[in-house]
Amino acid sequence: MRSYYKTNEWSVIEEGFEPQKHEASESIFSLGNGHMGLRANFEEKYTGETLQGTYIAGIYYPDKTRVGWWKNGYPEYFAKVPNAPNWIGIHVLVEGEDLDLHTCKVSDFTRELNMKHGYLERSFTAELKSGKKLRVNARRFVSMVDDEIGAIRYTVKPLNFSGEIEFISFIEGSVVNRDSNYDEKFWEVLNTGAEADLAFLHARTRKSGFEACFSMMVEVSLNGKIIPATSQSLLSESYAGKSTLVSVSSGEEIILWKYAAVLDSLNYTHHQIVEKCKQSVRRAFEKKFDRLFDEHSAKWAVNWTNSDIIIEGDPLAQQGIRFNIFQLNQTYTGRDERLNIGPKGFTGEKYGGSTYWDTEAFLFQFYLSTESDHVARNLLIYRYKHLDKAIENARKLGYHSGAALYPMVTMNGEECHNEWEITFEEIHRNGAIAYAIYNYIRYTGDKKYLAEYGLEVLIAISRFWKQRVNWSERKGLYVMLGVTGPNEYENNVNNNWYTNKMACWTLSYTLEAINFVKKSDPDQYHRIVQKTAFGFEPESQAWQHILDHMFFPELNEEGIFLQQEGFMDKEQRMATDLDPSERPINQHWSWDRILRSVFIKQADVLQGIFCFEDEFSTDTIRRNYEFYEPRTVHESSLSPCIHSILANRIGKFEDAYDLYLRTSRLDLDDYNREVDEGLHITSMGGTWMSVVLGFGGMRIREGMISFNPHLPKKWKSLSFHINYRGRKLNVNISEKKVHVSLIGGEPLQVEINGNRVQCVQDT
Amino acid sequence: MRSYYKTNEWSVIEEGFEPQKHEASESIFSLGNGHMGLRANFEEKYTGETLQGTYIAGIYYPDKTRVGWWKNGYPEYFAKVPNAPNWIGIHVLVEGEDLDLHTCKVSDFTRELNMKHGYLERSFTAELKSGKKLRVNARRFVSMVDDEIGAIRYTVKPLNFSGEIEFISFIEGSVVNRDSNYDEKFWEVLNTGAEADLAFLHARTRKSGFEACFSMMVEVSLNGKIIPATSQSLLSESYAGKSTLVSVSSGEEIILWKYAAVLDSLNYTHHQIVEKCKQSVRRAFEKKFDRLFDEHSAKWAVNWTNSDIIIEGDPLAQQGIRFNIFQLNQTYTGRDERLNIGPKGFTGEKYGGSTYWDTEAFLFQFYLSTESDHVARNLLIYRYKHLDKAIENARKLGYHSGAALYPMVTMNGEECHNEWEITFEEIHRNGAIAYAIYNYIRYTGDKKYLAEYGLEVLIAISRFWKQRVNWSERKGLYVMLGVTGPNEYENNVNNNWYTNKMACWTLSYTLEAINFVKKSDPDQYHRIVQKTAFGFEPESQAWQHILDHMFFPELNEEGIFLQQEGFMDKEQRMATDLDPSERPINQHWSWDRILRSVFIKQADVLQGIFCFEDEFSTDTIRRNYEFYEPRTVHESSLSPCIHSILANRIGKFEDAYDLYLRTSRLDLDDYNREVDEGLHITSMGGTWMSVVLGFGGMRIREGMISFNPHLPKKWKSLSFHINYRGRKLNVNISEKKVHVSLIGGEPLQVEINGNRVQCVQDT
């Protein structure tokens, strides 16, 4: 597959304007800074197909859930991420004629996402219907330093005419979501206003009552000389803007700088938000574009020092991994423990911007390994703070005694997804949340976390598993009926191997954690026993009994862990048997057909093997991989990364590389033909794992970090940075050697291909 | 359980007004005539809780289906039955003070549904806040003779005052559905108008574009003397009415007659409907109330002759069965082959008024046995006419070569339900549609129906089963994965015994039907082969192979047919283990918990045994009944009837009676605490079966009608009428004897308790 975008190790570049690719490019070229983000919509008017998208972290709209088939236990709402008022707009009127790339002739169009410095830049020549030609360049960024600020530099040069150009810079509050069911608006504008040099718009989300204020200021220069402010205010109930008229001659250059501030009610009260927003934009205006940009770019340099991966010899892979790391850093910064990571980040509406198990299962490792520990810890505390709501959620479903079921999808701890087969049955998420605690402690060594927060969560989740299984008289074992595993192309199956495995592991780890806290911190143990009303022996014995008597479906002679009971009754077809025109099957087959087919959406048994790799021999891993990989269609973005890591583990290096490219360039090459809807942000953590855990072969076992790398043929070298227990390590792998250097922190023993070496800092 | 309503063999009577029971009573006292119907809303203003409901057969609103989790194959819309403009309204203002039963003191309140003559009557004394007292009597009916006509006689007598009373008689077009998701209106009013003595309102449903016109005329008498028309017209965009002012003295009597006509676009064009509607109401007005009522009552006398069941010695059972028969006759008359029977008939919004498998599985036998054959035949032809859409529906899901999947829920042949586990998986409905053809021919002997219509439907359904099963290498048998059986408390199960059974039976009956048509009507056979592109031997051999190699889950040693694979892994609890406060579980348990429990919503394996009773020994039936009955919570109205019939079959007569009472008085005694939402119309056919097939023991085998009756202890006698192959039979069963008398038609041999007797007409 030839990439539509130019391959460049630090940039994604589009050359030439193809309107039918525009919505896809709007996703690809998205910008964000953890607090807000936006798709690569054009500043100027565009009457072609476009998915307008401006998003603010933590703000959601509770869409109605109660429908005809509503059943007890269904959540009250489905959270959607509301497309926020658009603050980038700069309409350009050339002697009264609209600049609109849909209606004029466009040439020399380029669009660049510069990942090194974190900006979007676009240049083009437009020939209007009147024959007037102009050259435009627009650069913008949302600041990584002051995450409430965005800035645009918009340059226009008339090529064959002289005359007046009007720039209408505005904030548009009359915005809709594409996923609104009844075209209802999610925002209402409370107020708009303008002062001599500034305009603002204050809006509130319907139902959920979040507020946001948007302010803007503009400055214009002609041939490098600032033009004194002569803007006129344009105001309506849902619109605030400034019009600036500039007389210009052919060949002259106008630059318009637009500064914007976006503040919201997560951080400001109703009464202060407008004033604070005006102050913020004034501060930005005073700093000017270049200084704001330099600060921003310097922060990106730090990000890259922490998390860059360098792949020599494979520009496609290099661009792919950088694109993923760039997006991960844009989406979540770990500054605010109330926030989390939506499947599409700030790049689209789909999946409602809410938190899924993706965070713990696919993203956690990236932040754990590239940021200081508090970032990963914030992700754990996010769930700790939702524990009461998870207990309440379980209670609504009929569980009791402090059992917790974390929501499948959430904005604030409440369940907000409404398919029973997901909400009620995809309970393995509870296991992922427990596993992240284990993973955090394994990586950081911070065992105190158990006493402080972790154990309470583990006990509540173990109680859930205890109540969720039932004893089968027929089998003389515990069974877990009616679940949906990670492979969502199956629903309501019995004894999903992965879920049963996760449940047992949680019970076992909780027992271990209880003993640890009891011994190491009796005061905290006492506090937790009180708080959770822990039932001592009887409760832990019941867990142990389940552990010792859980049913796991297996193909006995062949040593295959069966995805679920009855799996072998399906018609056993291979993904390669599928006609390419039928793929992805989720776009070509009815749901009915998908459910009955053998085809697997994403790693399920293999996800479990990935989590508990050390329990299985290489042979067992290979047998299961060879059974499941041919049946897997990888129609979840979360799938190829796990397969790639396991392929490396068992020495199927070509598979590993093919699967890696698929995850790494999923969005850039639009494998699943849906990138127009937004990027697969949460899978990007999986991509990172497939490099560092897969090709880098990084593992942590009993406090020892080790590397068993294997480079794909094409790669000359691979190097990456790791934050590990207060050290900064650089791992450099080439065909001939593996070098781990200590860049910061105390000396450390590491294991490379089975040999222990001492790393000390170069002096 | 003491009934809230008074027990009377021909009436349902409510004495005293209990506002919290009002919505339930609005359902119970509903009226209908096959073309239209309405809940027992008050004519006068009522500001208390009420579910306004006026419905017109065949009119639906296509509610949006496309939601976030929309998947390929989902239908485009969910059909709702729109609450139509209200034509019964008569507001009463006593010296400017509203008569409103919610705000005044009510005494001597009675409400009667007279089933013999088919009317609703209500009387009460109201004391207004001003202290004025008046006595009111209101009777209304919707004509069974002219099904576009309704009439109300509204009588008012001031008891302690003299003064002016204003009657505002109106048609209200600004109506909503309670089940509208966004409070959107389903109707828009096109026009309203008034003439000297008449008012009308012309409306159209949004999206679906059905039109209906409502017209009304009023007449008023004082002390028996008609008052010359002095009405004032009241018109707005969505309202048309007449105001009549009457001066009255204490003790005098005012009668207001309101006549209404309701015409719709199933029968009239846009251009003619208003004029025709005015003509209709004028005709009714000229006939006057008493004559309209007498005609109507005479038609009810005919209905009762055809379908009455008389139970002596058990007034509760008598009232129960009459209530059921009354509602069945109100809901469907068989006049229009485009219509069918919604689960709530004309009594509520729930389930969208659409056609379910209920028609074939539970209602068909009633119409087959109490009406002339064309009524049941119309029900079959309804499906025949939808065959192309059923093929199209299957095609959307990935089936091919003329396979048909009839919709689970439909208004016009298109699927319009949107839960995948129902729409895609509850495929046993296809079997019920095939079975109704068999049942019709078995009962009527009309084997020509196969060549004319039936065989095409059977072939298309058989093709569906062929494609729906798959070969399990592991089992060496065919399996049917991912289905939902009649017991909807299980979803997406493998090898539901009932569905597998239905599939095999269809294949076998289709093969038989093909051979029959081939021999008996070669021309038609040729036509059908051409039309369906029937594949001869290879196609029929493939069906035979499935027939011979289908997997059926069984508990082998115990001779129990297992509801589905894995059923015995569930915790085996009995319904009697449930705390009564938890029942019905669908109102107290989460869906999650229900799905994983052993509890059965409605007959599933037993439904199959009911259909194919002759294949099983009494012992087998008993074993399965004894296994399933204790696990069944009967939370579908369609459940107890089948259990009751089987209980009679195996001699569990007390069970049979208990279950019968439960189905017979389901709504009158509100077993499932939901009668406020409407009546369980479709289950009423099951009730009828539980009397005639259950206690009456009626069966048809090879053209011979037989009776093996057993009366419940309490019953002195049971008698019912049957239409059978051109004969009218009266079956009279008492403890001592069974007497079958021929009331009309040729002599006939019947079998009574195993003895054949010749029935001849008394002369």
Q: HEC profile for B72-94?
A: CCCCCEEEECCCCCECCCEEEEE
Cβ <8 Å between B481 and A398: no
Distance CA B32, CA B147 (A): 9
Distance CA A485, CA B691 (A): 47
Distance CA A33, CA B703 (A): 80
Parallel, antiparallel or unpaired: strands B748-752 and B704-707: parallel
Give me the residue label for tokens 């009459």.
Answer: B322
Structural contact between residues B282 and B217, judged by C-beta atoms closer than 8 angstroms: yes
Q: Write out chain B residues lying below 8 Å of A569, CB-based.
A: 470, 472, 474-475, 479, 481, 494
The residues of A annotated as belonging to the active site are: 488
The C-alpha of B253 sits at a distance from chain A's nearest C-alpha, in angstroms, of 47
Q: Residue A1 pLDDT more than 70? A: no
Distance CA A80, CA A185 (A): 12
Q: What is the average pLDDT score of chain A? A: 95
The two three-digit tokens of residue B384, written as one number: 């025949």
Distance CA A262, CA A149 (A): 6
pLDDT score of A484: 97
* DSSP 8-state assignment for residue B651: T
Structural contact between residues B141 and B150, judged by C-beta atoms closer than 8 angstroms: yes
Chain B stretch 160-179, residues whose beta carbon is closer than 8 A to a beta carbon of chain A: 179
Instruction: Say which amino acid occupies A461.
Output: I
Q: Write out chain A residues lying below 8 Å of B72, CB-based.
A: 586-591
B397 and chain A in contact, CB less than 8 A = yes
Q: Write out chain A residues lying below 8 Å of B591, CB-based.
A: 71-74, 420, 424
Sheet of B31-32: strands edge to edge? B31-32, B36-38, B54-56
pLDDT score of B531: 97
How many Å is the Cα radius of gyration of chain B? 27
Q: Write out chain B residues lying below 8 Å of A593, CB-based.
A: 73, 397-398
Three-state DSSP class for residue A568: helix
Structural contact between residues A285 and A277, judged by C-beta atoms closer than 8 angstroms: no
Backbone angles phi, psi at B648, to 5 degrees: -60, -40
pLDDT score of A763: 66
Cα-based angle A293, A294, A299 (whole degrees, multiple of 5): 95
pLDDT score of A454: 98
- Helical residues (DSSP H) of B469-568, grouped into ranges: 497-520, 522-532, 536-548
pLDDT score of A228: 84
Three-state DSSP class for residue B587: helix
Structural contact between residues A78 and A65, judged by C-beta atoms closer than 8 angstroms: yes
Cβ <8 Å between A398 and B593: yes
Span A328-347, pLDDT tens digits: 999 999 989 899 999 999 99
Distance CA A244, CA A218 (A): 9
Cβ <8 Å between B587 and A67: no
What's the mean pLDDT in B703-725?
A: 96
Residue of B nearest to A418 (CA): B69
What's the mean pLDDT in A489-512?
A: 98
The HSE-up count of residue B62 (CA atoms within 13 Å, CB side) is 14
Distance CA A460, CA A454 (A): 10
Cβ <8 Å between B73 and A588: no
Per DSSP, which regions of B397-545 are E strands?
Answer: 470-472, 477-479
Length reported for chain A: 763
| Interface residue of B74, B590, B635 to substitute, partner A, most A CBs within 10 Å | B590
Cβ <8 Å between B398 and A473: no
Cβ <8 Å between A482 and B595: yes
The reported pTM is 0.92
Under 8 Å CB-to-CB from B380, ≥6 apart: which residues? Answer: B436, B437, B440, B449, B453, B454
B71 and chain A in contact, CB less than 8 A = yes
The C-alpha of A26 sits at a distance from chain B's nearest C-alpha, in angstroms, of 21
Cβ <8 Å between B482 and A596: yes
Task: Give me the catalytic one of B488, B490, B539, B629.
Answer: B488
Q: Residue A352 pLDDT more than 80? A: no
pLDDT score of B68: 56
Greater confidence, A231 or B456?
B456
Backbone angles phi, psi at A674, to 5 degrees: -150, 15
Cα-Cα-Cα-Cα torsion A613, A618, A624, A626, nearest 10 degrees, comes to 130
* Sign of the dihedral defined by the CA atoms of residues B120, B123, B129, B132, in that order: positive
| Interface residue of B76, B591, B677 to substitute, partner A, most A CBs within 10 Å | B591
| Interface residue of B417, B492, B568, B635 to substitute, partner A, most A CBs within 10 Å | B492
The C-alpha of A339 sits at a distance from chain B's nearest C-alpha, in angstroms, of 23
Q: Could you give the percent of chain B with pLDDT greater than 90?
A: 90
Q: Write out chain B residues lying below 8 Å of A590, CB-based.
A: 71-73, 396-398, 424
- Helical residues (DSSP H) of A312-454, grouped into ranges: 315-331, 358, 364-370, 373-385, 387-396, 420-423, 428-444, 448-449
Span B20-39, pLDDT tens digits: 999 999 999 999 999 999 99
What's the mean pLDDT in B453-471?
A: 98
| Interface residue of A64, A66, A590 to substitute, partner B, most B CBs within 10 Å | A590
pLDDT score of A725: 96
Give me the residue label for tokens 């209106």.
Answer: B185
Residue B312 forms beta bridges with which residues? Answer: B717
The two three-digit tokens of residue A221, written as one number: 């220069």
Chain B stretch 420-439, residues whose beta carbon is closer than 8 A to a beta carbon of chain A: 420-421, 424-425
Residue A168 forms beta bridges with which residues? Answer: A91, A243
What's the mean pLDDT in B443-467?
A: 98
Question: Looking at the partner chain, which of B181, B425, B593 has a beta carbon nearest the beta carbon of A397?
Answer: B593
B69 and chain A in contact, CB less than 8 A = yes
The C-alpha of B163 sits at a distance from chain A's nearest C-alpha, in angstroms, of 49
pLDDT band at A69 (very low <50, low <70, confident <90, very high): low
pLDDT band at A67 (very low <50, low <70, confident <90, very high): low
Environment class of A101 (CB within 10 Å of its CB; exposed 0-12, middle 13-18, buried 19+): buried
Question: Looking at the partner chain, which of B179, B566, B592 has a beta carbon nearest the beta carbon of A73?
Answer: B592
* Sign of the dihedral defined by the CA atoms of residues B615, B505, B525, B518, in that order: negative
The two three-digit tokens of residue A476, written as one number: 């003389």
Span A586-641, pLDDT tens digits: 989 999 999 999 999 999 999 999 999 999 999 999 999 999 999 999 999 899 99
Q: Residue A32 pLDDT more than 80? A: yes
A515 and chain B in contact, CB less than 8 A = no
Cα-based angle B165, B170, B175 (whole degrees, multiple of 5): 130
Under 8 Å CB-to-CB from A654, ≥6 apart: which residues? Answer: none
Residue A141 forms beta bridges with which residues? Answer: A151
Question: Looking at the partner chain, which of A66, A397, A491 has a beta carbon nearest the beta carbon of B590?
Answer: A397
Span B108-163, pLDDT tens digits: 999 999 999 999 999 999 999 999 999 999 999 999 999 999 999 999 999 999 99
Question: Looking at the partner chain, which of B420, B493, B593 has a beta carbon nearest the beta carbon of A591?
Answer: B420
The C-alpha of A207 sits at a distance from chain B's nearest C-alpha, in angstroms, of 14
Helix (H) or strand (E) holding A461: helix A455-468
Q: Write out chain A residues lying below 8 Å of B184, CB-based.
A: 182
The two three-digit tokens of residue A638, written as one number: 């979360």
Environment class of B506 (CB within 10 Å of its CB; exposed 0-12, middle 13-18, buried 19+): buried
Distance CA A508, CA A297 (A): 47
Chain B stretch 348-367, residues whose beta carbon is closer than 8 A to a beta carbon of chain A: 352
Q: Which candidate, A49, A30, A48, places its Cα nearest to that of A39?
A: A30
Distance CA A742, CA B63 (A): 63
pLDDT band at B67 (very low <50, low <70, confident <90, very high): low
Question: Looking at the partner chain, which of A396, A494, A593 has a beta carbon nearest the beta carbon of B566?
Answer: A494
Q: How many CB pairs under 8 A join A and B?
A: 148
| Interface residue of A558, A567, A591, A673 to substitute, partner B, most B CBs within 10 Å | A591
Cβ <8 Å between A589 and B69: no
Span A395-432, pLDDT tens digits: 999 999 999 999 999 999 999 887 889 999 999 999 99
Question: Looking at the partner chain, which of A352, A570, A586 has a beta carbon nearest the beta carbon of B481?
Answer: A570
